[in-house]
Each structure stands twice: as structure tokens, then as C-alpha cells.
Structure 1
Amino acid sequence: MSIAIRNDWTLEEIHEIYNTPLLELVFKAANVHREYNDTAEVQVCTLLSIKTGGCTEDCAYCPQAARYNTGVNVQALMKKEEVLAYAQKAKDAGSTRFCMGAAWREVRDNRDFDRVLEMVKGVNEMGMEVCCTLGMLTEDQAKKLADAGLYAYNHNLDTSSEYYESIITTRTYEERLNTLDNVRKAGVSVCCGGIIGLGETHEDRIGMLHTLATMPQHPESVPINALVRVAGTPLENNQKTDIWDMVRMIATARILMPKTMVRLSAGRTEMNVAEQALCFMAGANSIFAGDKLLTTPNPSFDEDNRMFDLLGLKPRESFKAEKQKLAEMFE
């Protein structure tokens, strides 16, 4: 039976889906995935830290927070030429989306932001979807990024509104939602998900999915991250995230948001190919490729290429959603 696109999911409905016996849940999610997406396609994204460390926030999972001693070296904003060279390398390796991250609490209207705008223009001219994650944005800043050619903006909720203050106290949940509203107003697509393994309950995971799935428009991308436990952070001794929890989150997200790119994000270095295959079967259709995610390890391009060959997967082309919309207009 066809699943409709809905934005009015109740917590009770999501609770029932999430707690479906696992194999049945994966089967249902796989059917939804097949109905709305090409299951052989996986969006390949590359994430680069263009300004590293020294962040004033206290996110309990983050090695870039200045207050934690994690061994991360503070690095100033990279030069445009260096960023574009890295983007070209990623494109040559098969990435179709390039995301630039800066360890800022919020964007400031200064020379560094002007330099980021030039980076966005440069990557856009390379024919890649360009994404940024720079912290909080005003409506005017989001508009400037859109005018420069920004395709997507990442701003994760991290967890449920109820558990949020246990992880972060330097920025409110409402401020995160306001930034997402500013991104939408600028016509930029939204990339927004969260992290599991922070010490949250299953109800917190359900709550986060409820917030995402009941937005007026579903995020175009939803990253599902497994906590990467970094020495020196408050969460360094948390238990490894169970693969079955990742599968359950991905499958539930796929059913709730059928057209969304569900990204198998941080934590893949602790998953073997079989475990990642289960995630793809459950509806994941996006990954970060390259040997580093900001400051934490990630599988290499070569490892992912071998996995794609084994599983019969192929990279999704850039701007496919826009090309499909244009094709439908002229049918």
C-alpha cells in the first residue's frame, strides 16, 4: 500500500512505527524507499572543516569546543584556493555534494563571511551541490548565501527538545529552529538530523523524529549520526551505538519522510560493510565520503568505492531533484 507524504504525524504513530519488530520495520521501510527513490542510488557528499576548533559552545560530543582538551589544533579559516582544490579532489573521487563546516557559534557579518561566500560561488561553479554548516544564521545572511549559490544548509537538532539541555547549554533549541526557518525563507534546502548514543532514551529519538517529520516541509536531507566518542569530551565514555539502533532510526526516518535523503553519517568507521548494507536496505541513501568528517575519522573513498561495487550502488548525480522537477514541468 502506498505511503502518502505527511507532515501531521503524531507521537503515538511514530512510537508505533519505531517499535515495530525490526525485520518487519526494515521490510516496510524498504518498500517505501523503493516507491519514492532509486534504491541503487546513494548521494555521495564530502565534508571539509574550513575553520577548525576554538568554538565557544559546550556541545558535549564535540572535539572542537574550546573548553575541552581533545587535541584538536585550532586552525583559521582556510584560503579559497585550498578549499576549491579539496572540492575538486572530492569531485574527481565521485562526490556530488561538497559541505563546508566552520566551528562558529553563529555567522558574523565580517571579512570571513565574505570569504565563505566566495568559496560557495567557487564550488557552485564546479557543478557540485554546495552545502555549509556555519552555526546560527540571520535571514539576511541566509539570503546572501543563497545568492552566492548555496544549495543546502546543515543545522542539526542533535536530539529531542526535552533532552537537548543535557547536551548543550550555550544555544537553545528554539534558536536552532529559527535558523532553519531563515534557511527556508532564503529558498535554500534544509539538511537537519541528529545524533544517537548521547545518553538519550528511545523516547528522545522518537521526539526528534517527530520534530523533523512534522515540519511544514520535510528536510531535504536528514543525517543520522552515531556518536563518535572523542577523548576529552564529556561523552568520551559513552557506550558504542548499537547497529540495530542505527537501522531502526534510519528505517523510521525513511517511513516518516519518504522523499528525504536519509544520510548514514558519523560512525561508519565502526561499521562493517554488512552493517552498512543493512542501513541502505532500511532506507539510507546518502553518505559522507572521504577520510575525515570535520575532525573525526571516516572511511576512505577507496573503501566506499569497493563497497559500492559489492552492493551494486552508484553515486546520485548532482541537482537530480531540480532536473526531475524541470522534466515534470515539460511533460
Structure 2
Amino acid sequence: MQTEIRNNWTKEEVAEIYNMPLMELMYKASVIHKEFQKTGEVQVCTLLSVKTGGCKEDCSYCSQSARYSTHVKPHKLMQKDEVIEKAKQAKDNGSTRFCMGAAWREARSNKDFDNVLGMVSEINDMGMEVCATLGMLDENQADQLKKAGLYAYNHNLDTSREYYDKVITTRTFDDRLETIANVQKAKISVCSGGIIGLGEKDNDRIAMLYTLSTLPTHPESVPVNALVPVEGTPMEGNKMVSTWEMIRMIATARILMPKAMVRLSAGRTEMSTEAQALCFMAGANSIFAGDELLTTPNPEEDADKQMFNLLGLTPRASFKEEIEATPTI
């Protein structure tokens, strides 16, 4: 009997899954993963910060906020040719999705936004899935990005509604949900997850997963990030979360949203190959490759290639779902 895709989870059901004994939770997630995904297939994504620092937001974890003194030096939007070159390198290194991040509170309909539309169009023509994270979007901007060829938009919830204002005060949880709704209306794939290690409790992690899994349409991609504390931010003294906490989040996300790509995102530098293997067993099927994840370190590509060879993992092709859904004559 096939597992049902549900959007009507209760918070109690999510808590029950999340709190299962860890080995049982991993096993259940692994079975569901095998039912809906090709096991051993992992999507390799590259994330490039196309406009770094100087953001007006006060996200307590972020090195790019203008409110904090960190190692990040602000720079304006990169030139299109430079971004296209980075996308080509990423493709040559095996990435099938290229994500561009801009440290904006919201996208503004101006020359910079027009330049991003041009980048999206050219990278789409290269046969890569193009993703962007540009802050809040209105409906018109989402439509423009879709027309330019944007495949996915990242807009993380970060944490629970209840804990949100302990992390960010310059925008609301509902602002996040509104951008996700605008992206979904434009028929762009949604990438939305969160960060653990912000000082939240298990109930906040459960509540965040509950919100994601009860959206009218599940996000097609759910990044699970471990906070990498950055000196100069209010959360510089936070402790790194354990591998087991990451596994619990990944496995619960996999059970709640079986069709989603569950992304092993920030914090991977601190994880051994063995720890990452357990995350893949628990249902993760996507990683970010490259030297940096926006402004925090990421494992080098050679190390990832060695890990793929060791674990027998294969890179997932671009636009795989669309290709598989196309009828053959």
C-alpha cells in the first residue's frame, strides 16, 4: 500500500513522529524515502552570493546584516558575465542546480532586479535548474522571475511562528508565508526549510515542520540547516547542534513530505562522512557543493566526490521530475 501524501497533519502527529526512538525514526524515513525517491541519488547544488552584505534585516544568526560587525565585506551585485562563468564552473563540477543569493530585505523592481532576470535567463538556457533567494517578493516579481526561467525560489521559515520574533524583528512570520504563496501562485518550485541551533526548543522544530507540511502544496525542497555561529552576530556563542539532531529533523521532514528534496545544507563542514551517510540514510537527498555556502565554509568539491564514490551516490539530473512526467510516444 502506497504511503499517502498528506497536508492535514496535526501538530500532535508531527510531535509523535519527531519523538520516535531514533533508530525507528531513521528506519521509517528510509522506507518512505525508498518508496518515493531513487535511493543513492543526490542532487548537487551550488549556491553563489551574487550580492553580499549590507542587509537591513536584523536576523540574529546572519553575517550579512548591516547591524552587526562581522568578517563579511559588503559588495554590490556581481556582473552578469562573472555569475555566468561561476554557473558554468558549477555545471562542470557536477552541479545540476545553481542558486543565486542576494542580501536584500526584499526584491525591488529596479536595474539590479532586471540584471538578476538576465542572469536567470542565461543560466536556464545552460540546462541547469536556476534557484534564487532575494528576500521578499510580490506577485508581479514572482511572475517576472518565472517568465525569465526561474525554476525554484528559496525562502526559509527559519524557525517556528512562536520563536520567530526572538530571532528576527524586522519582518514577520506571515511575511515569509506571503512570499511563499506568491512564489507558488507563479508556479515556481518552493525551497523552504529552517535552521536549528538558534536557541529554539524541540517544540519549535516540530512547529516549523508542521507549518511546512501543512502548506496547501508541500515545498518541493526542504533545506535543513545547522547554525554555523558567526563572530559578531548575537548568536556567536551558540553551540553547534549534534548530528543526531540533524538526523531527527531530516527523517521527520522525509516522513511528512515524502516527495520533497530534503537538503543537507549549512553545517556540513563540521560533519564527518559517517555523519553525512546517516543523514542520507535518514532521507536527505541533496547537498550544496562549493567552497562557501553564501558566507560560511562548505566542504570542498573533491571531498564530496570522494564521499559520493565511497557511498555509491549518484548525482541527480536537472529537471528530473519534468522529464519523467513527460509522456513518451
TM range (shorter): over 0.9
Amino acid paired to 1:267? G
Equivalence for 1:41: 41
Residue in structure 1 matched with residue 127 of structure 2 by the alignment = 127
Report the AA paired with residue 167 of structure 2: I
Partner of 1:59: 59
Q: What secondary structure sits across from 2:158 in the alignment?
A: coil
Partner of 1:169: 169
SS in 2 for 1:87: helix
Cα distance in 1 for partners of 2:301, 2:89 equals 11
Offset at residue 3 of structure 1 (A): 1.9
Task: Determine if the alignment matches structure 1 residue 98 to structure 2 residue 72.
Answer: no
Matches of 1:255 and 1:23 in 2, distance apart?
Answer: 14
1:20 maps to: 20
What is the one-letter code of the residue matched to 2:105?
R
Cα distance in 1, alignment partners of residues 148 and 240 from structure 2? 40
Q: Which residue of 2 aligns with 1:189?
A: 189
Query: What is the aligned-residue RMSD (CA, Å)?
Result: 0.8
TM-score (norm 1): 0.98
* Moved beyond 2 Å, runs of 4+: none
Work out the percentage of aligned pairs sharing the same amino acid.
Answer: 67
Alignment of 1:1-331 (within 5 A): 2-327=2-327, 330=328
Which one-letter code corresponds to 1:229 in the other structure? Answer: P
The residue type equivalent to 1:239 in the other structure is K
Instruction: Supply the AA of the counterpart residue of 1:244.
Output: W
Cα deviation digits, residues 242-296 of structure 1 (max 9, x gap): 1100000000000000010000000000000000000000000001000101111
Letter in 1 for 2:175: E
The Cα shift of 1:240 comes to 1.1
Normalised by the length of structure 2, the TM-score is 0.99
Q: Give a deviation string over 1:55-83, Cα, whole Å, max 9, x none.
A: 00000000000010002101000000000
Q: Provide the rounded CA distance (Å) in 2 between the counterparts of 1:303 and 1:98.
A: 19
Structure 2 gaps of 5+ residues are none
Q: Could you tell me how far apart the structure 1 residues matched to 2:142 and 2:5 are? A: 27
Distance 1:3 1:69 in 2: 48
The 2-side partners of 1:72 and 1:15 are apart by 38
The amino acid that maps onto 1:53 is G
1:2 positional shift: 3.5
Q: What amino acid does structure 1 have at the position aligned with 2:296?
A: T
Equivalent-residue separation in structure 2 for 1:192 and 1:321 (angstroms): 18
| Deviations 1:190-218 (CA, angstroms, capped at 9, x unpaired) | 00000000000000000000000001110
